[in-house]
Structure 1
Amino acid sequence: MGNLSHFKGVLVLFGLLALVGLATGAQFYKLFQPSWATDHFMYEGDVLKLRLDKYSGAGFASKGKYMFGKVTVQIKLVEGDSAGTVTAFYMSSDGPNHNEFDFEFLGNTTGEPYVVQTNVYVNGVGNREQRLNLWFDPTKDFHSYSILWNQRQVVFLVDETPVRVHSNLEHRGIPYPKNQPMGVYSSIWNADDWATQGGRVKTDWSHAPFVASYRGFDINACPCPDNVAWADNTRRCSSSTERRFWWDSPTVSELNLHQSHQLIWVRANHMIYDYCRDTARFPVTPAECEHHRH
């Protein structure tokens, strides 16, 4: 009788675990869908895992596109020797003149800090890389990574700490990404031609599979149907006398004093590369750099 009770208990436990997995899948599939290599997706409890091996990486994309708002995901990065791998979380519009906001987590050799690279593309032009080392080990636990986007600024946040701001400087003749709806994407892939120490350290496939774990998917942004013109989406997703969206409120139009101090601290203590200071690449300082010094 005891064995039967134990067996029933095990069945109930497996049933609960299956329901949790289904709930995770439901949360993910409400907002996203796999974009490639579905056989490299795994669900464990409330966690989605993407796997990279010598055959393939994996990626997913949001079902819709958005104009302004905030997107967040919690990620636990690849543990151990992850050299050559890149885990990316980003927003992007379509086409050759696309806009894009990137988080790219560059793998490392065991014991070295993970490097986080951010980049901003405007009208198809990128080359705005910044790199920093995080103030924690991102492989040991989940941390939140967010992109806040409105008509005044783009803010990259790690656990709600701003690590980069790209301001709207259109009044100075500098283009700003504000009229193209963006999808939300993430992927893990092999980039050992450049990702770790400039490509000097290659991926060691004996450590595969490399696994990035995800949870806490959240998109709080203005949805833009594909059948609506860009200009109409811009108007629909912008505040007016009839409606007020949270992303246009004064509290998020610029960093508050505490956030400004946080950004100064990040730049002073954790930034290891800033394109604005790379005179070899840019003998003439990019125009926006003169106004993005914090």
Structure 2
Amino acid sequence: MAPHDAVLGWDEDTTAEAYDAFTREFPMYGTTSRDLARRAHLADSRLIVDLCGGAGATAQAILELAPATARVISLDNAAAMQRVGRRTLNDPRLTWVTAGAEDLGSHVPAGQADAVVCNSAIWKTDVPRVFTAVRTVLRPGGRFVFNIGGGFAGVRHDDEKSAHPGPSLNRLIHHVAARDYGYAPPPTRPAAPKLPLEAVTAHLSSAGLDLLDAEVVAQHGTVAEKRAWLSIPLFARPDGDFTHAQRMDILAKAYALTTPDAPTVTSWLTIVAQRPE
């Protein structure tokens, strides 16, 4: 089943507005979206699905690569995200559908999609159900392209391993929260990856999809970008009984201890699968 918080928080106007502002100011979603769209081989496509499409960053990348005659369906179950997307992305080729990823087959004709693309969200879905639905809507030879954050996939790119040592912004947040608010993080043990490649491969096989490629990709950013990300209400830290104002106070104090343009590296497991011909 999908995690309980798969929608919680996303369907709120404050989160949707902050998320959209982040995607316009910083390159992370544009870069990852263009990479996924490129891997989907869209040159001859007629119908493409942007799965868990949010406010449309990935749909925009798809539209830039797809033929002028292609149709794009952006499907997401957070209406607030789509309201923001409709305001900024007005293209007659794009249709917005408010629905869960698991219900993909109810909104896309069986065997008609040339590609399904999903950026940064597949792990939040009921993966076996979604993979089965993707297989249903893809035409023979159609591609399914998605990525999984390195922490969820249990992978690290070499660039991340060799990144400049020093306390991360997250670690500094915990330090400031402990110093100024008496925060004591709960004891944790290293968690097993939520969706490692072995599980992805097994789910794809069960759904009748072939794995074509799996690559660990590095995304380069800055501490300033990380701060902007952690300013989005849904991602604000630390966990626990804090108001958003308190979290923003902690974030500001932690950020003051960093170098804003210092480089950061995150890892992604990028998957290309296909419905057999």
Confirm or deny a common fold (TM above 0.5): no
TM-score by structure 1 length?
0.22
Bigger CA radius of gyration: 1
More helix by proportion, 1 or 2? 2
